[in-house]
Every structure is written in C-alpha cells, then in structure tokens.
Amino acid sequence: MGKPDYALEMALMARGRRRIAGVDEVGRGPLAGPVMAAAVILDPQAIPEGLNDSKQLTERRRRELAQQLHADAQVSIAEASVEEIEYHNILRAAHLAMERAVAALDPAPDFLLIDGNLVPRGIAIPAQPVVKGDTRCVSIAAASIVAKIWRDRVMVDLAQQHPEYGWDKNKGYPTKQHRSALQNLGMTPHHRRSFRPVHKILYQD
C-alpha cells in the first residue's frame, strides 16, 4: 500500500483553495470512551516527514509526529461523549465530533478533505469525502494521528479510575481482559451500553 501524499491538496490549491483541512475521527469501534475527531491544516512549507494512517505507526512515532503537528500546523480536536453516542448512534456522534473540530479552527478552512464516504450534515464548508483518506491524503493522516494520540490519553486517564478493564492498554477495544472485566464487574459510566458486545455480555442468559 502506498503512503499518503499531498496531491489532493495541491489540486485544490490550483483551483484557488488556500486553507484546506484534513478531517478524521478515531474511536468508533471501542466499547467504552468518547469518539474523537481532529481537523488539521498543514503548512505546505512544514509538512512532517512520515505522515501516515495512525494505525500504521508505532506509538512513539505517533507522539513525535503529533508534537510536530501541534507546533507547525493548525490543529483542532473535539469529541462526542458516550451519552451522545447512545442518544444518536456512533456514526452521527463521530460526525458531531468532526463538525466540532472543524468549527474550532480559527481562521476557518475554505475546503475540507474528510475521511470516509460521507460529509457530516452539519458542515457547510465545501468538502470532499475521501474513502481510506488516511492512507491517501497527508492532511487526513495528520488528523488521524492527533485524534488518536488525544483519545489514547483520555483512555489512559479513565483507566486510573477503572484499572480492571485495561483501558491503558486496550483503549476501550474488546480485548479478552476488557470483556472479562465487563462480565465480572459490570458496566462503568464510560461504557457504550447500546453496543452489541456490551449489551450481550451484560444481559446474556
């Protein structure tokens, strides 16, 4: 698989766009914790080397790149809570987080490159969805990195309150330790009770 590049951004710049933000979310799959999104406008003169889908990078490399991005790019991070995930659904909650991240960029972007196949309905800025965008577009890859780092920190913090679930390591994903703790200890306020694995564990016969 090739690495993401700056081609989409360059094509948009050739059409007059100047402030192009990559947007991505993390945390749709875990059983616990908020869903996070980030929006990043890269400085064309200071694009960090090695940007890639956050899942393709080591934790150490993600931290290094996130530090560079916070220093050299315009970065915004937002979340949607477990309560919002439950009230809406995980897709709409992820879109809410994206909308909030975009809205917090100041000055505002004039175009968005959004990971996935949908543009969130609350976004009025011109936008293009990019399927597998974090592997194709460095702006989206940058957003995936900073959102991942931020969400991981949140889950490590929550793990201090609920150490039995292993969130400092599994970040809320359904590992053996996490599922076992759910079965033995039940649900915390940070669990997504509507998610089928949580519901099944808690209400099995």
Euclidean distance between CA atoms 97 and 14, whole angstroms:
29
> Is 152 among the annotated ligand-binding positions?
no
d(CA 163, CA 18): 46
Contacts of 171 (CB under 8 A, 6+ apart): 27, 30, 33, 151, 152, 155
Whole-angstrom CA distances from 159 to 72, 103, 182 are 31, 30, 14
The verdict on whether residue 134 carries a ligand-binding annotation is no
Is 24 annotated to bind a ligand? Reply is: yes
Bridge-partner residues for 79, per DSSP? 36
DSSP-derived letter for residue 163 is: G
Distance CA 100, CA 91 (A): 14
Burial class (CB in 10 A: 0-12, 13-18, 19+), 131: exposed
Token pair belonging to 35: 């869903």
Binding residues for a divalent metal cation are 24-25, 115
Q: Which residue ranges make up the annotated binding site?
A: 24-25, 115
